[in-house]
Amino acid sequence: MNRKLLAIGVNLMTIAIAAPLFAVPPSLPKLEAVNFKPPKGARYMLDNGMIIYMLKDNTLPVLHMSAIIRTGRINDPKEKIGLGDITASLLRDGGSAKYKPDEIDKTLEFLGALVESSLASEEARAEMTVLKKDLDAVLDIYADILINPAFDAQKFKLKKDEALEIISRRNDDPAREAQREALRAFYGAGHPYGWRTETATINAITGEDLKSYHANYYKPNNIILAVSGDFANDEEMLAKLKAKFGAWSKGEVKFPVIAPVSIKEGRQVYFIDRDVSQTSIVMLQKGVKRHDPIEYSLSVTNEMLGGGLSSRLASEIRSRKGLAYSVYSYFAKKPDYGFINASCGTKPETYSQALSEILSQFELIKKEAAPSDEVKRAKDSMINSFVFRFATPFDLISERALYEYYGYEPEYLDNYVDNLAKVDPAAVIETSKKLFKPETALIFVIGNSKKFDKPLKEFGPVTELKED
Domain ranges (residues) in the chain: 42-245, 268-464
The reply to whether domains 42-245 and 268-464 share a CATH topology is yes
238-256 pLDDT, tens digit each: 999 999 999 999 999 999 9
Q: Among 45-49, 225-229, 291-295, 382-386, which stretch is predicted with the lowest mean pLDDT?
A: 382-386
Q: Among 35-44, 429-438, 439-448, 459-468, which stretch is predicted with the lowest mean pLDDT?
A: 35-44
Rounded distance between C-alpha atoms, residue 269 and residue 433, angstroms = 23
Q: What percent of the chain has pLDDT over 90?
A: 88
Q: Tell me: pLDDT of 135 over 70.
A: yes
Rounded distance between C-alpha atoms, residue 286 and residue 334, angstroms = 11
Q: Tell me: pLDDT of 204 over 60.
A: yes
Fold classification of 42-245 is Cytochrome Bc1 Complex; Chain A, domain 1 (3.30.830)
Mean pLDDT of the 137-163 span: 98
Mean pLDDT of the 17-29 span: 48
Confidence at residue 452, expressed as pLDDT on a 0 to 100 scale: 97
What sign has the CA pseudo-torsion 258, 436, 178, 331? positive
Rounded distance between C-alpha atoms, residue 148 and residue 271, angstroms = 47
Mean pLDDT of the 400-405 span: 98
Confidence at residue 349, expressed as pLDDT on a 0 to 100 scale: 97
The reported pTM is 0.89
C-alpha distances (whole Å) from 247 to each of 141, 212, 223, 243 are 16, 20, 15, 8
- CATH H-level, domain 268-464: superfamily: Metalloenzyme, LuxS/M16 peptidase-like (3.30.830.10)
Length reported for the chain: 468
Q: Tell me: pLDDT of 18 over 90.
A: no
What sign has the CA pseudo-torsion 424, 425, 426, 429? positive
Confidence at residue 13, expressed as pLDDT on a 0 to 100 scale: 43
Mean pLDDT of the 38-59 span: 96
